[in-house]
Each structure stands twice: as structure tokens, then as C-alpha cells.
Amino acid sequence: MNRQRIRLKVNGQAYDTLCSENATLLTLLREDLGLTGTKEGCGAGECGACTVILNGRPVNSCMVLALECQDSEVRTIEGETVNGGLSDLQKAFIEHNALQCGFCTPGMIMSARALLDKNPSPTREDICEALEGNLCRCTGYEPIIAAVLSAAGGEVNE
Amino acid sequence: MPAFLQPSSLSEAWSALKENEDVRFLAGGTDLIVLMRQGAVKCGAVMDVKKIPELSVFGFKDGALEIGGAVTCAQILEAHETEGPYGILKQAAVTLANSLLRNRATLAGNLCNASPGGDMIPASLVLGASVVAASPRGEREIPLKDFFLGVKKHVLARDEIVLRVVFPKIQGGGVYLKKRRIRGHDLAQVGVAGFYDGGLRFALGAVGPTPVLVDFGRIPEAELLERKAEIVETVAAEAKPITDIRASKEYRLAMTRLFAGRILDALSSCSRPLAVEEAAQ
Ligand SMILES: Cc1cc2nc3c(=O)[nH]c(=O)nc-3n(C[C@H](O)[C@H](O)[C@H](O)COP(=O)(O)OP(=O)(O)OC[C@H]3O[C@@H](n4cnc5c(N)ncnc54)[C@H](O)[C@@H]3O)c2cc1C
Ligand code: FES
Ligand code: FES
């Protein structure tokens, strides 16, 4: 199998490694870089479990080839950790019971993070649009929307 | 195991095409990568065309709007260029999949995928779009109405790269309405675009093997509503839907009529343009 060199930054850390030509960004993260926080649900663009932020935009990492990300900046759920603690969004998700099985959560949080980066005070509608591509089979979405709204409002603190 | 190619110029692309067999072009990958992972598409090499500078154009040239092959639906939604008469492109783009997909999915990829239900196609057809494609043999411009040959088939040769889609200078306004089962990740059951600029055009998606353009020529504004029944029937007569998992042919035909009528109402009264989601209820 042909392997090519790939250089990229994930959560601020530079990586320089080899990856197979048909690897997706998702497999690069999970299998080569050991960042297993990002999940694979459908592998076909339907569920959003694999959402990461690529050069500032949330994308389905199962549909991006790793080699397309040469010299790119990627952010994953692992990058949410702030000095060993949880981020505002992570705390808000816990506070609002916005997860049950948790499989959709890393993707949900990355979509929400990309939204908050762009728009620090989103409306409910903005949140629904930003999370349109992230499916959750457990929560019924309301707690997730509440969590993002509260993280945006800064209500959920230590 | 397909090789990965990423030329940063057209000349690099042409030499890579010489050195590799059975090359498939990659834009956003939201069609291609899914098909490759399912094993439905097998190829010798994948060529990412997004680094070729010609494909990143997005702006006006001699009054015409040019949208490069690497421009995504998200960019179309964010841009000022796609306002006014070209706003119908935004109306269509916002219905395409979901916000994650739109960050990758390109206009050119949607046209080249040539799905009968591609959402950007009817809107592009009523705007009179054409496709500029380049190959080692040179460049050519193909009117979009002559671009589609059948389900997932178009006129491009395997070595032709779409550089940009060109929308002629235009005035007036248009509406795109899409019917789907659920929001977020469903292709159109029916997609209807209408445009009025003194001339009236409709285009239909998901009701035949290729999208269809119905051109009524010039119609005085006062006649749009007077002739509504006749116009709606003419549009519906061009729909040749089938029954599949998304909808029955009867339903598709009924929705085509309903949407054509609603679009005509919206186009004839200078009233507020019909909101896509509202009509899709
Ligand atoms: C979950 C999901 C939901 C979807 N929902 C919708 C929807 O609601 N509406 C809709 O219309 N589509 C939908 N799609 C399909 C897809 O997202 C769109 O067709 C999209 O616009 C394709 O663009 P792309 O840039 O990703 O194309 P790619 O996958 O990169 O390419 C598509 C095809 O075009 C060719 N191609 C791409 N660029 C060029 C070029 N510059 N020159 C020559 N050939 C080229 C490729 O070789 C390939 O055959 C959906 C897909 C998924 C996975
Ligand atoms: S795993 Fe990528 S969208 Fe489902
Ligand atoms: S918490 Fe289980 S899928 Fe969302």
C-alpha cells in the first residue's frame, strides 16, 4: 500500500507522519494519531458523529481524505480540554443532561464549538441549523440545544 | 488502492493525467468518497482539484457571475455575489443536505454528479448557466441545458475538469422549492425552480432521468396569473417521474403542480419571496 507523508496540526500540536493514500481524516485521527474521541457512526456523511473542525469549518471527517488536509489545522474533541479540565460546552452538556450514550457528543460539541467561534451569541435557530448534520438517537435534542444556549450565555460555570 | 494526486496548477494536472490511469476528480468528496467507500466507484487515482487556482474564482467578470469548481455551497450562502437575481442559488444551496455537508459540497460537484435530484441544478438552469471545462485539448463552454445525458451521466470526457460555472448577467428574480421527507439529509422528492425576468423559465429536479428546463419565452407580467392553469399544466407535462423509495410518481406530479403554481404566485406579485421551508411543509 502506498503511504504518503502528511503534515498537519491537530489541536495546536504539529504532526508529521505517513498515511495511506485512501485513509480518511477520521482514520488518520483515530488509528494513526490515537485520537479516538472522534467517532465513526455511519461512515457516509449521514450522522455527524465524526465531526471535526477543519480550517475553521465543521466537517464530516469520514468524507475527507487525510491527504487533503496537508498543512491544515484540525480541532477535535480532545482539544476541548482546558488545562486538564472540561470546557464550557462540555460542562453545559453535563449540566443539561445533553448526553446519554454519548456517541454523538464529540461531534455535537465540535459543531457547537464552530458555531460559537463564529457567533458567540447564537439564537435557538442558529443552533438548530449548526447541529442539523448531527444526529442523536438518545436525547431528543432539546437538552443539547439548551446546553449550547447556556454555554453561549455563560450560565454554566464551575 | 487509488493513488492520491493534488496538482496545484492545470499544467501539473495534465501531466498527472498522463502518468495515471482511470483518474477521478475530487472536489468536496461528498458524493465521490461515499461511493468509493461503498466500493461503487473504483478508480486508479483520485485527483483533488481544489488547489488549482482557476477553480477558486468567485465574482463578476464582464457582468457575468463566475463560480469556480472548488467553491462550496457554504461559500455561496455567505457571499454577496449570490444576492439579488442570483439569490435563487442561495435558496437551493440552503436545502442541500446540512451545514456540515455544505462546508464541503461544491456547486460544480453537484452538477458533475448529475443526479436527477441535485438541488443546485434547477436553480442553475433557470439562470441560464453554462459550464466551462478544460482538458489537455483546451477549453470549452457548455450550456447547462445541454450538459446532462441521463441519470448520473453528463457530456464531459473523463479528462475534462470543470473550471467554473458561469451565470450570465441577469435581472429579475427566482424561487426554488424542494420537497423532501426530512430536513438535514434527504435528497429532493421534487425540486422546482422558477425565474421571471420578462421571460419565464421553470426547471424541474427529481422528476425524470435528467433535470428539465421549461422555457416559456417572453410573457407580460400581467399574463402570468391569467395563464396560471395553462402554465402549470405545461410545466407538469414535462415531468416524467417514477416511483421510488422517496415518493410515488403520482405524489411527485402533484407536488410539481403545486410548486409551479406557488412559484408563479410568488413571481407575479412582487410580494415577498416564498420561504423555502414554508412551502416545503
Ligand atoms: C448525507 C448526504 C446528503 C446529501 N444531500 C444532498 C441534497 O440534499 N441535495 C443534493 O443535491 N445533494 C446531496 N448530496 C450529494 C452531494 O453532497 C452533492 O451532490 C454535492 O454537491 C457534491 O459536491 P462535491 O463537491 O462533494 O462533489 P464530489 O463528491 O467531489 O464529486 C462529485 C462528482 O463530480 C465529479 N467532479 C467534482 N468536481 C469536478 C470538477 N471540477 N470537474 C469535473 N468533475 C468533477 C467527481 O469526479 C464526482 O464524480 C448529499 C450527500 C450526502 C453524503
Ligand atoms: S461517521 Fe461521518 S457522518 Fe456518520
Ligand atoms: S447521546 Fe446517544 S446518540 Fe446522542
CATH number where A10 lies: 3.10.20.30
Percent with pLDDT over 70 in chain B: 95
Residues B119 and B23 in one domain: yes
pLDDT at B184: 64
Residue B93, chain A, CB below 8 Å: the answer is: no
pLDDT band for position B279 (cuts 50, 70, 90): very low
Q: Has residue B281 got a pLDDT over 70? A: no
A95 and A71 housed in the same domain: no
Interface of A with B in 63-92 (CB under 8 A): 63-65, 67-68, 70
Query: Which domain, by its residues, includes B21?
Result: 3-167
Question: Quick one: average pLDDT of B165-193?
Answer: 90
How much is the average pLDDT of B173-191?
86
Is the pLDDT assigned to residue B37 strictly greater than 60? Answer: yes
Beta bridge partner(s), residue B64? B61
Last residue of a domain, one of A41, A76, A111: A76
Of B178, B36, B173, B281, which is closest to residue A43 (Cα–Cα)? B36
pLDDT band at A82 (very low <50, low <70, confident <90, very high): confident
Q: What's the domain count of chain A? A: 2
Residue A138 has pLDDT above 90, yes or no: yes
Residue B161 and residue B192 in one domain: no
Contacts of residue B3, Cβ cutoff 8 Å, sequence gap at least 6:
A2, A21, B20, B44, B45, B46
Beta carbons of A21 and B98 less than 8 Å apart? no
Task: Please indicate whether residue A48, judged by its CB atom, sits closer than 6 Å to ligand 2.
Answer: yes
| ipTM score | 0.94
Contact B1 A130 (CB under 8 A): no
CB pairs under 8 A between A and B: 85
Percent pLDDT > 70 in chain A is 96
Q: Is A57 on the interface with B (CB under 8 A)?
A: yes
B147, B111 contact by CB (below 8 A): yes
Which has more confidence, B243 or B86?
B86
Any ligand 3 atom below 6 A from CB of A28: no
One domain for residues B149 and B10? yes
Q: Give yes or no for residue B280 having a pLDDT over 80.
A: no
Range scoring the smallest mean pLDDT among A11-20, B112-121, B185-194, B266-275: B266-275
* Inside any domain, residue A158: no
Confidence of residue A154 (pLDDT cuts 50, 70, 90): low
A134 touches A47 (CB < 8 A): yes
| Cell reading at A122 | 447564537
Q: What is the residue range of A146's domain? A: 88-151
Residues of A in contact with B183 (CB under 8 A): 132
pLDDT per residue as tens digits for the range A88-135:
999 999 999 999 999 999 999 999 999 999 999 999 999 999 999 999
What does pTM read for this prediction? 0.95
The confidence band for B269, taking pLDDT boundaries of 50, 70 and 90, is: confident
Of B2, B100, B104, which is closest to A21 when you measure between CB atoms?
Answer: B2
Q: Please say if the pLDDT value at position B202 is more than 90.
A: yes
Residue A114 C-alpha cell reads as 464552530
A61 touches chain B (CB under 8 A): no
B138 and B212 inside one domain: no
% of residues, chain B, pLDDT over 90: 84
From the CA of A60, give the closest atom in ligand 2: 2
Which residue is listed with cell 488509528? A31
What is the rounded CA–CA span in Å between residue B227 and residue A61? 50
Kindly tell me if the per-residue pLDDT of B210 is higher than 80. yes
User: Which residues in chain A (26-55) have CB-CB distances under 8 A to chain B?
Assistant: 43-46, 48, 51
Q: What is the DSSP letter of A32?
A: I
B94-123: per-residue pLDDT in tens? 999 999 999 999 999 999 999 999 999 999
User: What's the half-sphere exposure (Cβ side, CA atoms, 13 Å) at B30?
Assistant: 28
**Cβ <8 Å between B4 and A24:** no
Quickly state the pLDDT bin for B278 (edges 50, 70, 90).
Answer: very low
Residue B121 C-alpha to ligand 1 middle, in angstroms? 12
Of B124, B140, B167, which one is at a domain's C-terminal end? B167
CB B97 within 8 A of CB B123: no
Does B274 have pLDDT greater than 70? no
Is the per-residue pLDDT at B270 higher than 80? no
Total residue length of chain A: 158
* Grid-cell match 407535462, residue found: B237
Last residue of a domain, one of B150, B167, B184: B167
- One domain for residues B199 and B142: no
Range of weakest confidence among A79-83, B48-52, B241-245 = B241-245
